[in-house]
Amino acid sequence: AWRRDYNERRPHSGLGWMTPRDYASAFCGETGRHAAQADSSAHRPLATHQHQGSNQPRTLVIAG
């Protein structure tokens, strides 16, 4: 019971104080389809390995 209240009826600040049901229906009206779900069968994109190692610029140390 509490899960349904939290997920469907309770307003959330992250959704502009809309209920999740109202927030989802605001987007469903434009395309006629529901938004993708996190538990769907679609694969999530894989992270790329472009940035390996440190992202800090190297600093030369002057000896002396």
pLDDT means per 10 residues in the chain (64 residues)? 83 88 73 58 62 66 74
pLDDT of residue 49: 57
pLDDT of residue 15: 86
pLDDT of residue 32: 56
pLDDT of residue 54: 63
pLDDT of residue 3: 85
Look at the block and give the residue holding tokens 């779900």: 37
Q: What backbone phi and psi angles, to 5 degrees, belong to 18?
A: -100, 155
The alpha carbons of the chain give a radius of gyration, in whole angstroms, of 22
Q: Where would I find the beta strands (DSSP E) of the chain?
A: none
